[in-house]
Structure 1
Amino acid sequence: MVAEKRTIEKAIKVFESGGVEKIDNNSFQVKSINSERSHDVVENKCNCLGFKLYKHGDKKADRTCYHLEAVKLFKDSQGIS
């Protein structure tokens, strides 16, 4: 599944501003764009409201948010799989 264009744009903004912090191999803290708040991304799941409410078809496995997409960019840049 490919994320929406707006989601990717937000993810790039967060990633490029250094808003992704690696906690351990499967845990990251990601800053929000519009506030000082941060969200936890653990094992490809985010604790933000956007992730919880994300609707794209009926598959929960396809859920995403810009925090999760920013983590993917971070992992790619660090060579983390």
Structure 2
Amino acid sequence: MHPFFWTLFKIAAFSLLVGAGLSFINVSAEDVLGSIGLSPLELWIYLLEFWDWAVPNMILGSFIVVPVWIVIYLFNPPRA
């Protein structure tokens, strides 16, 4: 299995175990968010605001990064 997917699998499995343990002792996501002063709705709004900010900036940056990467890739010597 590719190392990246193996790492994602390990993170997902460990998160499931920790979530089951927290559920066993009656701790919910709302409790954790409430302890830092957020509600699930506020968290969702912050995530959407981040998405609305990040996507246009990623597209803008790719107009520079992708052509530079292509030029560097074309001028690298071939690997054996």
Same fold (TM over 0.5): no
Structure 1 length as normaliser, TM-score? 0.21
TM-score by length of 2: 0.21
By percentage of residues, which structure has more strand?
1
Larger Rg: 2
Using CA pairs under 8 Å that are at least 6 residues apart, name the structure with larger relative contact order, 1 or 2.
1
